[in-house]
Amino acid sequence: MEIDILVENSNEIVAIEVKSHLEIRNVKRFLEVLARFKEAFPKYKNYKVYGAVAGIKIDEKADEYATQEGLFLIEPAGDSVIIANSESLQPRVW
């Protein structure tokens, strides 16, 4: 199992999938990874696991699907990046 970026604190994790061109199929595959995450990494069995997807180019349907599935969406903003979800996002916990 490959996780591009893993951010950890004492009881929460954000697993991030990074693509140059993010498509719906990438989001679907990453959701499968998140479903198996705690099995593959039993060290984190008691952690809250959140997911995020990031892309330089993001298909419109991919951003809608990621948000619908409770993933954070990270996209370029000038020389940096932003979390592009609306404040109404209810992040999914694995």
For residue 88, what pLDDT is reported?
85
Domain ranges of the chain: 1-21+41-69+85-94
Structural contact between residues 73 and 37, judged by C-beta atoms closer than 8 angstroms: no
Distance in angstroms (rounded) separating the CA atoms of residues 47 and 69: 19
Q: Which pLDDT score, from 0 to 100, does residue 26 have?
A: 98
Give the count of alpha carbons within 13 A of 46, CB side only: 2
* pLDDT in 10s for each residue of the chain, 94 residues: 899 999 999 999 999 999 999 999 999 999 999 999 999 999 999 999 999 999 999 998 999 999 999 999 999 999 999 999 988 899 999 9
On whether the CB atoms of residues 70 and 58 are closer than 8 A, the answer is: no
Contacts of 73 (CB under 8 A, 6+ apart): 52, 53, 54, 58, 63, 66, 67, 83, 84, 85
Q: Residue 87: what pLDDT?
A: 87
